[in-house]
Amino acid sequence: MPTPFKPLRDAIAPTTRVLLVGINPGIRSATTGHHFAGYSNRFWKLLYESGLTNEFLTAEDDARLPEWNLGLTNLIRRPTPGVNTLRPDEYVAGLRILRRKVQRLKPDVVAFIGVSLYRAIAGVKGAIPLGLQPGTFHGARIVVLPNPSGRNAHFSYQEMLDAFRALKRVAAE
């Protein structure tokens, strides 16, 4: 039986200065073929309200992100309703691919969308502050953003917006 899921294409270009990295597509994103397409996801609103884009975009506009020197990819391509079913080997394979993308694109900043994603990538335990992190990821500065899913109750909308604004400041440096 064929899957109803559409593979999500990376929204990247040679001009990508900020590479936004999600963990994996949700079911609605995989069904529509567009990033951050969940009904309660605040990603697109946060991009606009933070000033990272000067136009309000929707999931259907995801391919336009390079117009603002932004890129978007996922660590793991397989869609799931949550991250609980992702396997350790998928993280390993996804990290290998992400490293190659970053080495090829040479963005100034890699922004990991979600504290748990950054924990998995960096092998860090305990509390992780949002924003600029010490060190680099293959030469790119690292920023940790909150996961904008409506299911994320760990951060208020204002905290999310503050983190996206901090990314804008880091990207402008």
What would the pLDDT profile of 3-14 be if each residue is shown by its tens digit? 567 678 999 999
Report all structural domains of the chain as residue ranges with CATH numbers, in order of start.
Answer: 18-172 (3.40.470.10)
More confident residue, 42 or 152: 42
152 has a pLDDT exceeding 70: no
96 has a pLDDT exceeding 70: yes
User: Long-range contacts made by residues 55-63, C-beta under 8 angstroms, separation at least 24?
Assistant: 59/29, 59/32, 59/34, 59/35, 60/32, 60/34, 62/11, 62/34, 62/35, 62/36, 63/9, 63/11
Distance (Å, whole) CA 9 – CA 12? 9
Burial of 42 (0-12, 13-18, 19+ CB in 10 A): buried
* Predicted pLDDT of residue 158: 95
Question: pTM of the prediction?
Answer: 0.93
- The lowest-confidence range among 87-101, 120-134, 149-163 is 149-163
More confident residue, 54 or 40: 54
Give the mean model confidence (pLDDT) for residues 109-138: 93
* Predicted pLDDT of residue 4: 66
Q: What is the pLDDT of residues 98-118, one digit of tens each?
A: 999 999 999 999 999 999 999
